[in-house]
Copies of this chain bind each other. A is one copy, B any other.
Amino acid sequence: MTDYYDMSPQKARKLVRSGRITGPTSGMCAGYAQANLVILPRELAYDFLLFTQRNPKSCPVLEVSDTGSRQLRYLAQDADIATDFPRYRIYKKGELAGEYTDVEKFWRDDFVSFLIGCSFSFESALLDAGVPVRNIEENCNVPMYKTNIACTPAGIFCGSMVVSMRPLPREQVAEAVLVTGEMPRVHGAPIHIGDPEAIGITDITRPDFGDSVTVREGEVPVFWPCGVTPQNVVMNVKPEIVITHSPGHMFITDVKNAELKY
């Protein structure tokens, strides 16, 4: 994955669109924000937008499309929401109905797309600060877990938070908190540090999404709010249709992380 570390977002999106990148985007286009996706019919959009407003740590909205539009204004000028994620999931009534590398043929005029900040965005800031990122080292997807941390409900949406985990040497935890705390629009500071059971994770070696990574002797698991949370919450409602990205398979934006600090 390290070939893509210094690639421009425009070039990476082109490779995604043409089907040459279909895997996780962690470690790609260092310094640029990445985004999660939730596409819902307009009739669910108000409750969902309200849910994100009430749960900004797990659901920091970077952009909401106009109804029916596949274009973005802020995160990228030349993007197509239906083709520029490496992998999509379509859920019907809460059940996974298929995984696709584009969703053009499923598009509807009443779709609203929510692009939500992703912790991959701050991984290059961690690396710059000398903090290791295990999922990049091990060239795999970040491990993600369902927790018992309740989200604030909004309309029909309620559920619990999903977190991403990165194991860190004890002496670098505070540094990681400070670095990520400056970036609230891509989840910000950790929601939990240490004991996985305290937030309802019973087996750290078996993530609910993504891949397991090595936790070394002397390392502490550090948990950040994750943009898979909204997917988890939307599934509870079993809507007729919802399209999301496949966990770890993000949209790479033209916006630098530094621009998201203020």
**Chain A interface (Cβ < 8 Å from any Cβ of B):** 45-46, 49-50, 53-54, 61, 64, 66, 73, 152, 155, 181, 184, 188-189, 262
* Chain B residue at minimum C-beta to C-beta distance from A45: B46
Which B residues lie within 8 Å of A66 (CB)?
155
Our pick among B49, B188, B189 for the contact of A50 (Cβ within 8 Å) is B49
Which residue of the partner chain, among B53, B61, B188, B262, contacts A64 with CB atoms under 8 Å?
A: B53
Q: Are A262 and B53 closer than 8 Å at their CB atoms?
A: no
Partner of A49, one of B46, B73, B152, B189: B46
Q: Which residues of B contact A53 (CB under 8 A)?
A: 49, 53, 61, 64
Q: Which residues of B contact A50 (CB under 8 A)?
A: 49, 64
17 A-B pairs in the complex with CB atoms less than 8 angstroms apart: A45-B46, A46-B46, A46-B49, A49-B49, A49-B50, A49-B53, A50-B64, A53-B53, A53-B61, A53-B64, A54-B64, A66-B155, A73-B152, A181-B262, A184-B262, A188-B262, A189-B262
For A188, the chain B residues whose CB sits under 8 A away are 262
